[in-house]
Amino acid sequence: MPQAAGDDAAHDDAAAAGRPPSRHRPPTAAAPAPQGAASGAAAPAYGARSASAPSHAARPSGTEADAAGGSRAAASVAGAAGVPDGAAGGSRAAVPAFGAGGPSDGAGGPSRAAAPASGATGLPDGAAGGSRAAAPLAGATGLPDGAAEGSRAAAPAAGVSGPSDGVVPGGLPASGSPSGDIVARAETHAVSPLLNCLLREVAEPWGGEDGRDVYRLPATGRLLRVRGGRRPAEPEMRDGDGWRPLGHAALVALVTEELRRHTGLANDELPAEMTAGRDTVAALLAARSRTTPPADPYVRSEQALLTGHPHHPAPKFRGTGPAARWLPYAPEAHARFPLVLLGLREDTVVEEGDTGALDALGTAPPGYRVLPAHPWQLDLAGPGLADAFADGRLIRLGTTGADVWPTAAIRTVYAPGADLFVKFSLDVRITNDIRRLWRHDLLKLRRTDAAAGHALAAAPGPAAWLSDRGYRTAGFAFEELAVVVRDGLRGHLRPGATPLLAAALVEGFPGNPLAAAPDPAAWWEAYLAAVVPPALAAYADHGVVLEAHLQNTLVAVDAGGTPVQALFRDAEGVKLLPDVGRAAGWERLVYCLVVNHLTEVAAALAEHHPGLDPWPAARRAFARHDLPETAALLAAPTLPGKTNLLLRWTGADGADARYRPLPNPLAAP
């Protein structure tokens, strides 16, 4: 009989304070998760330090899984240039009108991401905008004889590494080296978040020149000039009497030297990840140029994040393997693929909650239960599962009959026909953490999910919670093979509403209603009304701290593109006030909801609609809630901004994040 994971209370108690440090490095396949906890120190009060000097005070622990970071202080800067909507990928398909009833069965749209073709060796000399020649992209070896371009690659068998048919390392177009356009666009996507980190965490404002912002790097004394805005670009370094343009490679070298002197620490890993992250974007752009965006606007929004986290030095790093390992599963490449179906012997099943939807994905023989697996994770974990396959604890059942679409989280996929989300472990570092379903998080899943569901059901308006109904895994590979079942969309959406990923509204995608809003002030008022009241009510009335950042929030819009509903997700990131103090819980809510969410949407809105000041309406939205915390928030001079660059450089655990104060745009002028 299946075991009830909740019986293992010792694990839950041991890890109650936070994630174990091992979340930063890929665990050995099929090894048990280490126990223990790491927690942050109490958060400093608002306004404790000025925004001119970094603060490394520890903050409350907790997952920042897949978070999109907050913008710099002037979040409402108008007219800042950036990557235009839809500019980062393939041909633009006709955009369906909003209000078509939400995601359609099968999700329509392109075939799987086209197989990148052969012969790539690296970036052309000089392609990096004045830097030294950019580091080579992962080398490509070529298509097998007779392989058709764009053919569907079969899901790899468990434990088998290497590219599927039709996919080659590097993910590059048929001409060999990436085109100059792809190189330039990859540079733009990679430079912007790295500059955001450097300017927020280390650099000192040093005036302006020729309409550009100038900063001083205190450790090296170098001067840096950039085109400002929420997506800073075109960095130049003072060199003698002039300014020398910096491409991504040269910027990485500059950041590396500054941080080495600034911290007194060396770090070879992070610079390599920055370079690999840029190469990832080039591979994604090449793949997108051979595909068509999904027809379903919801899926299109989940697959829109080519830049990703705007305040992370390597937001698109996908591990150290070749692109062939991950490109078939990349949402940004408009990928879709079948899940691998395993049979798990019944006496080894561990599950909790409602996992019945997994049984509908396939048929297992007597004595076994269906266990879906992500092909990439199965490839990574395969060697450690060899004994289980050999002795019959695991058997292979084939693949799902229908494809799934990877969402922005990469490890979470959407099955539109079944209207179901499925979340997996993925032993790859994405932003700050290894994306594994950790034992102690799974053991708390039902409690946190039930609390969040109750809070959102009682919240004002039509807000909804996408429940993590339960999980199923193998007792001998508890974390490696864990699968979480999450509610789909249709049972929660208002009639005629179309859900969109909030992060995509900020980054931009074809059909983005934020950019097209005919009355941006009214659009923003509607957005605030959908998102802010349920998040504050969950905290104030139920002690539930939602991780309401951009990637955990869906905003449903009506046929005209106006926000009418917010849907929140991911019980793993939820905190409950019985477990964390009220002050720490509020700090976390402010960081996720305001810094990581509203400042980014406000900045994007002001960029697309010059002259709009979003912050008076935001102040009114918070002032309507009679809480002592909201009064303090509106009076505080600063808000906490996470220092992802310094966190990664110093090797701090994600649960022990460092923050620095940023000017508070909600404070009355």
Task: Give yes or no for a contact between 452 and 568, defined as CB atoms under 8 angstroms apart.
Answer: yes
Tokens (6 digits) for 138 = 């992962």
* Average pLDDT of the segment spanning 171-199: 81
Q: What is the pLDDT of residue 236?
A: 98
Average pLDDT over residues 368-393: 98
| Count of all residues that appear for the chain in the document | 669
Looking at residue 234, its amino acid is E
Instruction: Provide the β-strand partners of residue 353.
Output: 470
Q: Which residue, 196, 171, 192, 428, is CA-closest to 279?
A: 171
For residue 528, give both structure tokens: 């605030």
d(CA 437, CA 448): 15
Of 348, 477, 648, nearest to 28 by C-alpha is 477
Q: Is the whole-model pTM more than 0.85?
A: no
Among the residue ranges 99-103, 211-215, 446-450, 477-481, the one predicted with the least confidence is: 99-103
3-state secondary structure 498-535: EEEEHHHHHHCCCCCHHHHCCCHHHHHHHHHHHHHHHH
Residue 496 burial (C-beta neighbours within 10 Å; 0-12, 13-18, 19+): middle
DSSP state of 279: H
Per the prediction, the chain carries an average pLDDT of 80
Strand partners for 434: 429
First CA to last CA across the chain, in angstroms? 63
Strand order across the beta sheet in which 420-424 lies: 3-4, 349-353, 468-474, 483-487, 420-424, 412-415, 405-406
**Per-residue model confidence (pLDDT) at position 177:** 60
Query: 420-444: string of b/e by CB count within 10 Å (b at 16+)?
Result: bbbbbbbbbbbbbbbbbbbbbbbbb
pLDDT at 160 over 70: no
What mean pLDDT do residues 337-352 have?
A: 99
- The pair phi, psi for residue 371, each rounded to 5°, is -135, 105
Mean pLDDT across the stretch 233-262?
Answer: 97
Q: How far apart are CA 568 and CA 546, in angstroms?
A: 8
Spell out the domain ranges in the chain: 180-303, 336-492, 494-635
Listed in sequence order, the residues at least 6 apart from 124 whose beta carbon sits closer than 8 Å to its beta carbon are: 133, 177, 180, 183
| Side chain identity at residue 269, one-letter code | E
Residue 653 pLDDT: 65
pLDDT at residue number 59: 31
Q: Which CATH architecture has domain 180-303?
A: 2-Layer Sandwich (3.30)
pLDDT over 70 at 91, yes or no: no
- Among 121-135, 239-253, 470-484, 490-504, the range scoring the smallest mean pLDDT is 121-135
Among residues 255, 151, 134, which one has the least CA distance to residue 194?
255
pLDDT confidence tier of residue 657, bands split at 50, 70 and 90: low
> Does residue 175 or residue 652 have the better pLDDT?
652
Q: Which residue has the tokens 């990637």?
A: 551
Q: Find, among 402, 374, 409, the residue nearest to 301 by Cα.
A: 409
Confidence label for 656 from pLDDT (cuts 50, 70 and 90): low
233: enclosing H helix or E strand: strand 233-239
**133/612 Cα distance (integer angstroms):** 41
In the three-class reduction of DSSP (H, G, I as helix; E, B as strand; rest coil), residue 603 is classed as helix
Architecture of the domain delimited by 494-635: Orthogonal Bundle (1.10)
Residue type, 348: T
Region 600-628: mean pLDDT is 97
**Quick one: which of 117, 85, 27 has its CA closest to 306?**
85
**What is the pLDDT at residue 668?**
84
The pLDDT of 65-70, averaged and rounded, is 38
**Would you say 662 and 70 are in contact if contact means Cβ atoms under 8 Å apart?**
yes
Q: How far apart are CA 481 and CA 31, in angstroms?
A: 11
Alpha-carbon span 209 to 187, nearest angstrom:
23
Q: Are the C-beta atoms of 382 and 161 separated by less than 8 Å?
A: yes
Mean pLDDT of the region 90-115 = 38
Name the pairing type of β-strands 233-239 and 468-474: unpaired
How far is the C-alpha of 307 from the C-alpha of 311, rounded, in Å?
10
Confirm if 310 and 600 have CB atoms less than 8 A apart.
yes
Residues 298 and 303: their CA atoms lie apart, in Å, by 9
Write down the pLDDT at residue 179.
79
| Structure tokens that stand for 327 in this block | 């490109």
Give just the sign of the alpha carbon dihedral 285, 287, 291, 292.
negative
Residues with Cβ within 8 Å of residue 564, at least 6 apart in sequence: 462, 494, 497, 526, 530, 556, 557, 558
For residue 4, the model assigns a pLDDT of 45
DSSP 307-320: S--TT-SSTT---S
Confidence of residue 45 (pLDDT cuts 50, 70, 90): very low
CA 200 to CA 638: how far, in whole Å? 13
Tokens standing for 264?
A: 């007194």
CA distance 202 to 219: 9
Share of residues in the chain with pLDDT > 90 (%): 69
Q: Which residues contact 623 (CB under 8 A, 6 or more apart)?
A: 630, 634
Q: Which of 587, 605, 604, 603 is nearest to 642 (CA)?
A: 587
Separation CA 393–CA 347 (nearest Å): 9
pLDDT score recorded for residue 654: 54
